[in-house]
């Protein structure tokens, strides 16, 4: 990839977007796993109401970035600001109370618990019983299949239903911002389309979304903007249209994911 072109694209797009208030801003994040330097300078921003993707191949640092934002990992350098407040080192439950929730890679459901119990766990940081019941009704309106199967164990659901349950569980905390890690992983193309339509709907109804995806071509169909990570660094950013039309991105990421889909 031609880094000169890519970095100038990063700066231009960021300047164009400055009018939007940031919900999340990450600057120069460095994270190690022992001796492994996983992140070596990840920077990006997500404006209020935006739908933004972090793209990149295996091992680029996407999951590590989300885990660090959620307080699961501690950065050795850099800053994470959520709605203008520096939140480095805050615990996950504190962040969830502030309105930021992660739908983790591989769903991470409680497989031996029922759909209902999984949803209840999503509301663990809330104490407003009536409000929790109302949110549960909203989740059931969004995913009628979860209401039908509310007494079934999570492990008995299909892959698509499990992803719906993972998203529903996250919605139970009433997030202002959702982080989605590989929502398309392991799902048939038709189901991926359904999940992506849902992501667009959630964003249109006011949830700010940052999603991590290996399926770059499909992601660029729905997001406002995206960042490409490579080797633990942000290599470029742009609007979806800019990235689709960037030859380096097309060559490195779009061909492969178009074939996959
Ligand atoms: P994938 O799509 O494969 O999950 P990714 O972009 O999400 O890729 P990460 O999982 O964040 O990438 O990994 C970033 C780097 O950190 C990789 O080099 C990976 O091997 C390394 N890494 C991730 N988790 C660990 C861990 N628990 N211990 C040591 N190294 C790790």
Q: Is 64 near ligand 1, meaning CB less than 6 Å away? A: yes
Q: Is 13 near ligand 1, meaning CB less than 6 Å away? A: no
For 206, how many CA atoms within 13 A lie in the half-sphere containing its CB?
Answer: 5
**Pair of tokens at residue 236:** 């470029």
Domain ranges of the chain: 3-99+178-260, 108-174
Q: Is 184 near ligand 1, meaning CB less than 6 Å away? A: no
User: Packing angle between helix 189-204 and helix 159-171, nearest 10 degrees?
Assistant: 20
Q: Which residues contact 158 (CB under 8 A, 6 or more apart)?
A: none
The most distant pair of C-alpha atoms in the chain lies apart, rounded to whole Å, by: 55
pLDDT of residue 5: 38
**Pair of tokens at residue 229:** 């990570």
d(CA 116, CA 187): 23
CA dihedral 125, 130, 135, 137 (to 10 degrees): 140
d(CA 153, CA 61): 33
Q: Is 56 near ligand 1, meaning CB less than 6 Å away? A: yes
Looking at the DSSP bridge assignments, the partners of residue 234 are 229
Return phi, psi of residue 51, to 5°.
Answer: -120, 110
- Per-residue pLDDT 10s for the chain (261 aa) are 433 334 434 444 444 444 568 999 999 999 999 999 999 999 999 999 999 999 998 899 999 999 999 999 999 999 999 999 999 989 999 999 999 999 988 778 888 989 999 999 888 888 888 889 999 999 999 889 999 999 999 999 988 899 889 999 999 999 999 999 998 888 888 888 888 998 999 899 899 999 999 888 899 999 999 999 999 999 999 999 999 888 888 777 776 444 444
Q: How large is the C-alpha radius of gyration of the chain?
A: 18
For residue 109, which of 146, 138, 70, 71 has the smallest C-alpha distance?
Answer: 146
Q: Is 238 near ligand 1, meaning CB less than 6 Å away? A: no
Residues in the chain: 261
Which CATH number describes the domain made up of 3-99+178-260? 3.40.50.300
State which ligand 1 atom lies nearest to the alpha carbon of 34: 29
State which ligand 1 atom lies nearest to the alpha carbon of 56: 6
**Pocket residue to mutate for ligand 1, from 29, 35, 61, most atoms within 8 A of Cβ:** 61
**Pocket residue to mutate for ligand 1, from 26, 33, 76, 257, most atoms within 8 A of Cβ:** 33
For residue 180, which of 233, 120, 223, 116 has the smallest C-alpha distance?
Answer: 223
pLDDT of residue 19: 53
**Pocket residue to mutate for ligand 1, from 63, 182, 184, 231, most atoms within 8 A of Cβ:** 63
CB atoms closer than 10 angstroms to residue 141: 9
Q: Is 228 near ligand 1, meaning CB less than 6 Å away? A: no
Q: Is 61 near ligand 1, meaning CB less than 6 Å away? A: yes
Between the CA of 75 and the centroid of ligand 1 the distance, in Å, is 14
pLDDT of residue 126: 85
d(CA 163, CA 205): 19
d(CA 197, CA 179): 16
Angle at 68 between CA 139 and CA 162, to 5 degrees: 30
């Amino acid at each position: 990839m031609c880094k000169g072109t890519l970095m100038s694209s990063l700066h231009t797009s960021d300047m164009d977007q400055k009018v939007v208030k940031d919900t999340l801003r990450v600057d120069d994040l460095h994270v190690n796993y022992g001796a492994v330097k996983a992140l070596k300078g990840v920077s990006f921003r997500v404006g209020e109401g935006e739908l933004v993707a972090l793209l990149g191949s295996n091992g680029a640092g996407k999951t590590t970035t989300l885990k660090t934002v959620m307080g699961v990992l501690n950065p050795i350098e850099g800053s994470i600001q959520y709605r203008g407040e520096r939140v480095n080192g805050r615990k996950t439950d504190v962040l969830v109370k502030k309105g930021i929730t992660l739908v983790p890679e591989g769903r991470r459901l409680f497989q031996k618990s029922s759909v209902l119990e999984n949803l209840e766990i999503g509301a663990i940081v809330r104490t407003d019983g009536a409000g929790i019941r109302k949110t549960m009704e909203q989740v059931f309106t969004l995913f009628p299949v979860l209401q039908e199967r509310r007494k079934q164990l999570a492990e008995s659901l299909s892959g698509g239903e499990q992803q719906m349950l993972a998203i529903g569980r996250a919605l139970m905390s009433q997030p202002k911002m959702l982080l989605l890690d590989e929502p398309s992983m392991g799902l048939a193309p038709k189901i991926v389309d359904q999940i992506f339509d849902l992501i667009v709907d959630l964003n249109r109804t006011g949830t700010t979304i940052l999603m991590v995806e290996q399926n770059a071509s499909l992601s660029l169909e729905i997001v406002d903007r995206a960042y490409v990570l490579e080797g633990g660094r942000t290599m470029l950013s742009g609007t979806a249209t800019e990235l689709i039309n960037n030859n380096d991105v097309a060559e490195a990421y779009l061909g492969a994911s178009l074939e996959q889909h």
